[in-house]
A = this chain, B = another copy of it.
Amino acid sequence: MQAHERGFFTEENSVEVVTGRNINAKDARLRAVMDVIIRKLHEAVKEIEPTQDEWFQAIQFLTAVGHKCDDWRQEFILLSDVLGVSMLVDAINNRKPSGASESTVLGPFHVADAPELPMGANICLDQKGEDMVIHGHIRDVDGRPIAGATLDVWQANDEGFYDVQQKGIQPDFNLRGLFRTGPDGSYWFRAVKPKYYPIPHDGPVGQLLAALGRHPNRPAHLHFILRADGCQPLITHIFDPDDPYISSDAVFGVKKSLLANFKRTNDPERAYELGFGGEFWDVEYDFVLAPARAGKGLA
């Protein structure tokens, strides 16, 4: 009976017993990851001391999250987003050298094949919203302009919807475009001022947010993916600092360095040059790309 007495599960030794079963894992990384997950799960259970009913509520919640997922909706990513996990994984994988622009979450609305446009093009195809011009430079960490960098931009319209959420209402590829810098590393394009919008909140994650007294909104922003030879790709946003939700982004995507200045501008001559009918928003934002990392590591 001696052998049987070893390794039975108790409240005290639960972590050691369960992780002890992973010793034959084929993949060392999987074993290491599962060891941490098991330890943290057990720590959480021991601190929470859930009743059987509460445990079952958790099971039912996770099941509902799974059942909400389909080809068009990823409720577990949404859960990861609202618990700050997605941003934490982003932060860990995108620690930048001093001076480089910071990253934030990709989000679900990127489209791979947006058209490449001439610098200065207006990505707003339906003339709805308040005119906006965005301009700045793309540089390396030593301050040198980067020629031939691509800037892939997408944003919601002034009602808070992306084109892919309003097929048939917005034109295809509305408020999307790919721009390429010239020798001076500058960029500019025209658009309309985006608006805040809610993440999908008609599912179990929305119910959780409501129960926690949290709103589902993301403050107004423009998405960017910047690429250049010899540089790390940068997935980021720039935000309107005057948005009502700027300090309470439902997915924690805001960083201080990503706040742009959205300047309301009354300049008839410049408006005329830009093809705008009157007042417009002037947004200037410079990007700094980090050098590509040697080796593989966290890519």
Per a CB cutoff under 8 Å, which of B33, B44, B252 touches A18?
B252
Q: A1-B241, A8-B254, A51-B298 are in contact. Are A87 and B214 (CB under 8 A)?
A: no
Distance in angstroms between the alpha carbons of A32 and B47 in the assembled complex: 10
**Which chain A residues (132-172) contact chain B, with CB distance < 8 Å?**
none
A5: B residues at CB distance < 8 A: 256
Q: Give, as a whole number of angstroms, the nearest-CB distance from A113 to chain B.
A: 21
Binding site for B on A (CB under 8 A): 1, 3-11, 14, 17-18, 21-27, 30-34, 36-38, 40-52, 54-55, 59, 62-63, 65-67, 69, 74, 76-77, 80, 83-93, 95, 211-214, 241, 246-248, 252-256, 259, 298-299
A77: B residues at CB distance < 8 A: 59
A22: B residues at CB distance < 8 A: 212-214
Q: A42-B88, A88-B42 are in contact. Are A21 and B59 (CB under 8 A)?
A: no
A84, B52: Cβ atoms closer than 8 Å: no
Q: Give, as a whole number of angstroms, the nearest-CB distance from A5 to chain B.
A: 6
A83, B18: Cβ atoms closer than 8 Å: yes
A213, B25: Cβ atoms closer than 8 Å: yes
Q: Give, as a whole number of angstroms, the nearest-CB distance from A203 to chain B.
A: 12
Q: A40-B43, A85-B45, A241-B1 are in contact. Are A212 and B50 (CB under 8 A)?
A: no
B93, A298: Cβ atoms closer than 8 Å: no
Distance in angstroms between the alpha carbons of A34 and B214 in the assembled complex: 13
Q: A25-B213, A89-B45 are in contact. Are A17 and B247 (CB under 8 A)?
A: no
Per a CB cutoff under 8 Å, which of B10, B67, B84 touches A17?
B84
A41: B residues at CB distance < 8 A: 40, 83, 85
B42, A47: Cβ atoms closer than 8 Å: no
Distance in angstroms between the alpha carbons of A80 and B18 in the assembled complex: 12
Per a CB cutoff under 8 Å, which of B37, B38, B255 touches A8?
B255
A-B contact pairs, 20 of them (CB 8 A): A4-B241, A8-B255, A11-B95, A22-B213, A24-B214, A27-B211, A33-B48, A33-B54, A38-B83, A40-B41, A40-B44, A46-B92, A49-B298, A51-B298, A55-B85, A62-B62, A62-B65, A65-B66, A66-B67, A67-B67
